[in-house]
């Protein structure tokens, strides 16, 4: 079984992309190795995102808000897939990625923008977490070894059109 490197991008790399990195790595039985980065990383991981990731038993010490520039260098892991998970990152000019990975946009509302009680914030994070988890499950159902890059890109973009928030 081949493993695929998947990079999730967002602007701040503090919530959605962090959760996606952990979900991809922990739920794919080794098929996906998740990474995350931001175009303008905020430098910290949102505590509610860390809480969601901890429930997966993902090593929280691996979590850090980092620049996408780390993944555009020749010595960085070569990505097979790059997924933007917030609308700001989708419209930005991305670095040139080594190896020409398949790209797609999976927009999710920003759970860190939710105001209210901690429980209301947790609920927003749970909804986005469930939406990301669903899209990763759909990705894992693709017969990637039998699809060419254009077909995979079309499929990943279609997955991005599924409901962003689980109801």
Q: Give catalytic residue positions.
A: 10, 86, 94
- Distance, in Å, from the CA atom of 124 to the CA atom of 102, rounded to the nearest integer, reads 29
Closest CA to 153 of 50, 82, 72: 82
Structure tokens at 161: 């059109």
Residues 52/129, Cβ–Cβ less than 8 Å: yes
- Distance, in Å, from the CA atom of 47 to the CA atom of 105, rounded to the nearest integer, reads 25
Residue 9 belongs to what H/E stretch? strand 4-10
In eight-state DSSP terms, residue 46 is -
């Amino acid at each position: 079984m081949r493993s695929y490197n998947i990079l999730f991008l967002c602007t701040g790399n503090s919530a959605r992309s962090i959760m996606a990195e952990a979900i991809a790595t922990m739920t794919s039985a080794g098929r996906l190795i998740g990474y995350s980065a931001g175009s303008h990383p905020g430098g910290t991981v949102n505590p509610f995102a860390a809480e969601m990731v901890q429930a997966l038993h993902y090593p929280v010490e691996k979590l850090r808000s980092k620049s996408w520039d780390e993944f555009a260098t020749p010595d960085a892991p070569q990505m097979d897939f790059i997924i933007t998970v917030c609308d700001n990152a989708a419209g930005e000019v991305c670095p040139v990625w080594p190896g020409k990975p398949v790209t797609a946009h999976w927009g999710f509302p920003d759970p860190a923008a939710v105001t209210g009680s901690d429980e209301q914030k947790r609920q927003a994070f749970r909804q986005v977490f469930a939406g990301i988890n669903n899209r990763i499950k759909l990705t894992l159902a693709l017969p990637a070894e039998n699809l060419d890059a254009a077909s995979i890109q079309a499929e990943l973009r279609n997955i991005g059109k599924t409901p962003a928030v689980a109801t």
